[in-house]
Structure 1
Amino acid sequence: MPDVPAWTIIVPVKPAAVGKTRLTDVGVDREALARAIALDTVTAAAAAARVARVIVVTDDAGVRAELRRTRKVEVVPEGDTRGLDAAIALGAAAAGVATARAALLGDLPALRPADLDAALELAASVERGVVPDAETTGSTLVTARAGAVWVSAFGEDSAARHRLLGCTDLAVERASSLRRDVDTAEQLSQAVALGVGPRTSAVLASAAA
């Protein structure tokens, strides 16, 4: 695609042993589910046409092993880094300021590559962008075009905090799979209705069998 920047996507992934603690009541192995959700997110991001590189920041051995041969994907160990924004900053530093960068949360199991592409197309026209989650208070994607200093403020009410940091809301439809992050059983059900990736689907199916 001419005149379209190639993006580097940074995905922070907590070790499955400590991730998605609010999904303990969905009747499946929480660690397996957390890992599956992250892997489906990364795989979808890597399949997006506007994405040249995906940097996954994690110390989860299972995630590292699964992604070892995935095209476009490289893994950066989190090490002593603590906190979501610190992990993302580590990935952004590895990407370098000369490239367009975006931080994508690793809990979007229904993510469709075309939805990410659409958001990145919008992001190319602003210095920094943000995609709020389906509830409109959190953030699922934060972007910075080439040359912009990286900033992020994920966590509670992050959409508002990202705006204060100079991020422009990207006009992504409320029903976009990019906006359906998963922290609770209800959100997982909504993601399933959108159509989750194969790993998440397999974990859920194994529990139903």
Structure 2
Amino acid sequence: MSWTVVVPLKPAARGKSRLTGASVELVRAIGLDTVTAAVGAASVVRVVVVTSDAATAAAVADDARVTVAPDPGAGLNAAIAAGVAVAGAGPVAALLGDVPALVPAELDLALGLAARHPRSVVPDAEGTGSTLVTAAGVPWESAFGPDSFARHLALGCVPLAVDAASGLRRDVDTLAQLRAVLDRAGPLTRAAWTAGA
């Protein structure tokens, strides 16, 4: 099964307010490393990056497999819905843009599991949030936000058996979480971390 992956990326300056202490460059690098991992997955034929950040859009624009869609500015679920609309027909997944330790093989594994279900979800390492939501053959629905894992289950998403150590489950909302995965993070994230150290 071939997938389109939607990656919503906030403007780096706004993302910085959540990742307290991080530079704009570091926040942008985390998103770009996430996009690079998605592009590298064998089961992914297209990545739709939803953003209003001009520098982020410029950084991904040269890759023929990446389409940039404007963020409508109405929250995370609306941004993802805008990306899904651009994606068109076929299996689609929403991947949050803060998993810098993700590698393509981990995403391929999850999407292979997702192919068995109309809807599925991957929880974050804490088990309360969601890092990946998929839909195949059914209309798109998502419920990102606080306690999103439980809300995605309520939408009929099947939880995928992705190992807790997988980079796909290690989203970074704090610098402590980033430090915990830094040795496995993508090159842009590591370089931005070093530059800001």
Query: Shorter chain as normaliser: what TM range?
Result: over 0.9
Per-residue CA deviation, residues 151-170 of structure 1 (Å, 9 max, x unaligned), is 00001100000000000001
Hey, what does 1:160 align to over in structure 2?
150
Superposition TM-score, scaled by structure 1 size: 0.91
Aligned-CA RMSD value:
1.1
Hey, what does 1:131 align to over in structure 2?
122
Point out where structure 1 has 5 or more consecutive residues left out of the alignment: none
Which of the residues 147, 151, 160 maps onto 2:141? 151
Q: Counterpart of 1:186 in 2: which secondary structure?
A: helix
Q: What percent of counterpart residues are identical?
A: 58
Q: How far off its partner does 1:205 sit?
A: 1.1
Note if 1:187 corresponds to 2:177: yes
Is the CA contact 1:40–1:198 (under 8 Å) kept in the aligned structure 2? yes
Note if 1:12 corresponds to 2:8: yes
The ranges of structure 1 where at least 4 consecutive aligned residues each deviate by more than 2 angstroms after the TM superposition are: 22-25
Point out where structure 2 has 5 or more consecutive residues left out of the alignment: none
Per-residue CA deviation, residues 135-186 of structure 1 (Å, 9 max, x unaligned), is 11000000001x2100000011000000000000011011111000011011
Note if 1:201 corresponds to 2:194: no
Take 1:40 and 1:207, find their aligned partners in 2: how far apart are those partners? 17
Superposition TM-score, scaled by structure 2 size: 0.97
Per-residue CA deviation, residues 87-145 of structure 1 (Å, 9 max, x unaligned), is 0001111112x300000000011111000000000000000000000011000000001
Count of matched residue positions in the alignment of Structure 1 and Structure 2: 197
Take 2:107 and 2:97, find their aligned partners in 1: how far apart are those partners? 13
Letter in 1 for 2:19: L
Take 1:185 and 1:73, find their aligned partners in 2: how far apart are those partners? 28
Change beyond 3 A, Cα 1:83–1:22: closer
